[in-house]
Chain A
Amino acid sequence: MTLLPIDSDTQLGRISDKPGPRDDPKFAAGRVAFFQYLTVAVFLFLITGFWDLQVSNPEIYNELAERNRIKALPIIAPRGKILDRDGRVIVDNHLTWSVILSRESMRPEHLGPIAEGLQLDRDDLVRLVNRYRGRPKYEPVIIKQELTPSDIAFVESHKDPEFFPELELIHAQRRLYPESGFSAHVIGYTGEISESELDVAEFASYEPGSVIGKFGIERQFNDSLMGVDGQRQVVVDNRGRERQVIGIKEAIPGKNLQLTIDLDLQVVAELALDGRKGAIVALNPRNGEVLAIASRPTFDPNKFSVRIKPEDWKQIVDNPDHPLLNRAIQAQFAPGSTFKPLMALAGLESGAIDDQYAVHCTGGATFYGHYHHCWVKHGHGTVALHSAIVHSCDVYFYNVGNRLGIDKIAYFAEQAGFGRKSGIDLPHEADGLVPSSEWKIRNFRQKWYPGETISVAIGQGALTVTPVQLARAVGGIAMGGIWYKPHLVKTTKPDPPHVLALNQENVDKVISGMCGVVNESGTGLRAKIPGYEICGKTGSAQLASNEFIKKGGKAPKDNAWFVGFWPPHNPEVVVAALYEGGEHGQLAAPLARDVIKSYLDKKVRLGKSAMLVSKAGGAGVRGRSAAPGGAGVDASGEAGGGSRRAAPVPASPQNPTSGKSSAAEPGNTDVAGSTRPRAATSGGSEQP
């Protein structure tokens, strides 16, 4: 059989009359049929594929399609602002971007590159995401807040399906705290709720990822400051672009919180403490409102606002000065001579002494076999109540204490609020300690030795107080025995005060002594404000026991205290100042004086502007009068403003940081130290 020339121009491969086997088109009929069966098989194969997807379980794919299409984006509720008593903003919010990660479309292997792109720690990110296990998948995880421009650029350029579609940018309101740690302790800070906190009952109602108050006011009033986050449901396309909003639940913003703090006073208090260690508390004894509360050293709460960097945290925690300690409510130190007015009052009230009772001070006295020094080596001569307070004669008060006995002292101290929390609306307040015979037995299984009373009588020994306790106690005494609970949040009706029926004559005698301290060349001369009768009391409290010093130990510098108030009767303001290592109360006096002066200056200013307004015949005195103080807002709200901006502060003419003058002080340190009885327990900072 020859090959037919297919390209011949005649029949072109056509079938001849005698076709060969291959020329019969039917020869492959069987194989063509096979092809038909193959076709049927192919179509059955395909149809079953569609059956599986479309008929057997379309719900799964319907849901997947819905998830593709619908994105739930949280709307973060802004926290309430924190305002001062005049409505000036202390803590504000600012708009930032956060990046959220959708766990529905998340791939575990993406976490590494995402962490790298956003400069996060990969392990932290994995841990964060794992924390959401067991929560509904549609809840996204906020993985980074306060995005930098480069973070935003990274997310924008990588959130499409080819890279990391699990990423999404959302707006968020972040906390903006005053710079330089201004009022940091009282305001506190917020932060993301931690894993361990989620297990605590206090935080049980919060969800992972919530930003909650962790310290100070932010923590104490978290529930009212924190709003309720909303949610937006949007239809998105494959690029994550929003096509349509299908549902929106608006966020409920947190409530603004108005504090009793007066920024004018607060700024002065912060300035006064600048460069020092210590605390200032200013209260209105008439209702317990806290006008200023400051503690140094401080920290920058802005560093905490989301998640603090480990190195920043380490720096704060390792700082030997403990900047996180709110000394105003947590520092527990011996009050020293600031305790004497209470001793005087206790003596008078209990009848142990009267104002005629006098003691001859020769620079010391012996009690129960131990010699106790007075802080003035050569003695005060004969002193009675008034001059004993004015000149802070230790020997006089040793005798008063000896006459009273420890339990009477403890009774009056506790009545004045020492030895337990003042109840101020801040977390982590310390109790302080008022020793008593019962306390001794309970804690040491020992009876109280009368000799121990002697050091307590001058505010040493086991006695410790916090600045807020001291301010409250002295303010309450000056009020004639009415102690209000200190509070930071404005309320129309304060809690009923603790009242102790006191003889007003006795109170007046003590007040008169305290006025002498400031105005009659007493120890508190530096608190004097011309034209105003400021009353107060200094204190220098030793920190180490005499034994320790005798053994050659290097004693830390004494703490300086001052507590002062104005006016002498029914005072409007009481200020307690603690200057750690300030050596003598005389050096704490200017700190308190600055704050009181700023209060007086403001009062004058308001009076004047009120007069101006009334002359103009206008109403709304209060609204106008707040204006002059408005500068304080800037100080708190702006970068770098904070405590450095002296100009708007009314009390600034006299600079409180006068390092020169301390050198000219009489060297009282060791004298005061010698007043310590050897048998006494060790210094205030080392209480059991």
Chain B
Amino acid sequence: MSGYLSVRDIDWGMVFISILICALGVVQIFSATHGTIWEDAWWKQIIWVAGGLLLMWITAQIDYHSLMTHVTLLYVLSVVLLTAVLLVGKQAFGSTRWIPLAPGFHLQVSEFVKLVIILLVARFMAELRSETLEARDVLKVGALIVVPMLLVIKEPDLGTALTYLPILAVGAFLAGLNWRYLIATAIIVVLVVPVGIHFLQPYQKARLVSFLDPDRDPRGTGYQVIQSKIAVGAGGMWGKGVTKGSQTQLRFLPVPHTDFIFSAFAEEHGFAGVVVVLALYFMLLMQIVKNAQTAPDSAGMYICMGVGALMLFHVLVNVGMVVGRMPVTGIPLPLMSAGGSSMLSIFLMLGLVNNVRLRRFVN
């Protein structure tokens, strides 16, 4: 049945943009880590990109409908693995997020759970037959998502847990959620957030406070935001050049190859470089949306839009954090930040988008 699937039908534009972003990421990782203990991060990243491309290819081959068939199994597996992470996971930087798979590679389960959530939402929404989406439908699927979310929050990794929400949100929105519900949700969020803050971890509270007022504690949590803004601002229009950014090279910038890679990039490549990369991300997103529009069925559309929503959320939160317009949540920038789990998970998602695209002429 997949005989008509052609290599030509892969979304080469999307793949090309992704590889371009990855390449800029690799250069930036090299610049930010040379002479440090993470010196080998850039070629590891190349391996992850290669591995990601391979996984994307494989994912594109398996019909997304059959993937959705096994979503129950995948969901149960996710919950089991997330529980396992909490029980036997590898601890680093104060939280337990990783299952050691092989020397040098620790699987961050929560990154891959995103895929399961995308498929879960897509299937749930596609199966709806009513004209409008009712609140209880949202609650149903929401309950399913809350379980892995709570497990991830427990790690603790609030940032990654939050990335599951835009998938649900965009799914519910596209499925025709009544505007009234949207407004109601917004009101509930506004009311719940102050209470929720009460239950945040001290460091999470501090991050939130320092987001609202970074100068209040410039050497504590606000330090990262301030240093990032300094790095970005010092980059100016044209940047300081690769390996020339003092904020990055002298390590005033925290984790300049992972969460704050875009800050390092902005310092060394300036506003011009920023515009180019953001344009690439924008094109990537538009490409994903286009694939949603040409999807053969609603399930395919939900999948593509889920990936798009997730990607947009990542870019917004990470890049927004870099310029001090979003709180520090510690979620990576897709395709650029060093890290295997994130990279593989992104390419798996792009594989899903290609999967949908390859089947657009089914009828």
**Interface set of A (CB-CB < 8 Å, partner B):** 1-4, 6-7, 12-15, 20-29, 31-32, 34-36, 38-40, 42-43, 45-47, 49-55, 57-58, 60-62, 64-66, 68-69, 105, 107, 110, 161-165, 235-239, 243
Contacts and interface: CB of A to CB of B under 8 A. Distances in A.
Most chain A C-beta atoms within 10 Å of own C-beta, residue among B129, B250, B271? B250
Interface string B209-236: 0000000001110010001011111111
B200 interface: no
A21 B234 CA distance: 53
B339 interface: no
A60 B226 CA distance: 12
A13 B123 CA distance: 9
B32 to A, nearest CB: 13
A513 B263 CA distance: 95
B229 A46 contact: no
B237 A49 contact: no
A35 B236 contact: no
Contacts of B250: 68-69, 235-238, 243
B260 to A, nearest CB: 13
Nearest to A11: B65
Contacts of B305: 32, 35
Give the interface residue-count category, chain B. 35 or more
Interface string B281-302: 1100110010011111111110
A40 B278 CA distance: 11
B316 interface: yes
Contacts of B227: 68
A165 B234 contact: no
Most chain B C-beta atoms within 10 Å of own C-beta, residue among A14, A25, A28? A25
User: A-side binding surface: helix, strand, loop or mixed?
Assistant: helix
Nearest to A47: B278
Given A32-B292, A68-B250, A238-B250, A13 B126 contact: yes
Given A13-B65, A39-B282, A107-B219, A51 B126 contact: no
Contacts of A45: 316, 320, 325
A54 B252 contact: no
Contacts of B329: none
B231 to A, nearest CB: 7
Contacts of A53: 229, 232-233, 323
B237 A54 contact: yes
A6 B174 contact: no
B293 to A, nearest CB: 6
Interface of B: 63, 65-66, 68-69, 123, 126-129, 131, 170, 173-176, 218-220, 223, 227, 229-237, 246-247, 250-252, 266, 270-271, 274-275, 278, 281-282, 285-286, 289, 292-301, 305, 308-309, 312, 315-316, 319-320, 323-325, 362-363
8 contacts: A2-B129, A13-B297, A26-B293, A32-B292, A62-B234, A62-B236, A64-B234, A105-B219
Contacts of B315: 42, 46
B263 to A, nearest CB: 10
A44 to B, nearest CB: 10
A2 B130 CA distance: 10
Contacts of A239: 251
Contacts of A68: 227, 230, 246-247, 250, 252
A61 B229 contact: yes
A165 B129 contact: no
B325 to A, nearest CB: 5
Nearest to B217: A107
Q: Ordered nearest first, which 3 A-B pairs have the shortest CB separation?
A: A61-B233, A49-B323, A12-B65
A16 B2 CA distance: 19
A32 B293 contact: yes
Contacts of A7: 69
B293 A12 contact: no
B232 A13 contact: no
A616 B276 CA distance: 90
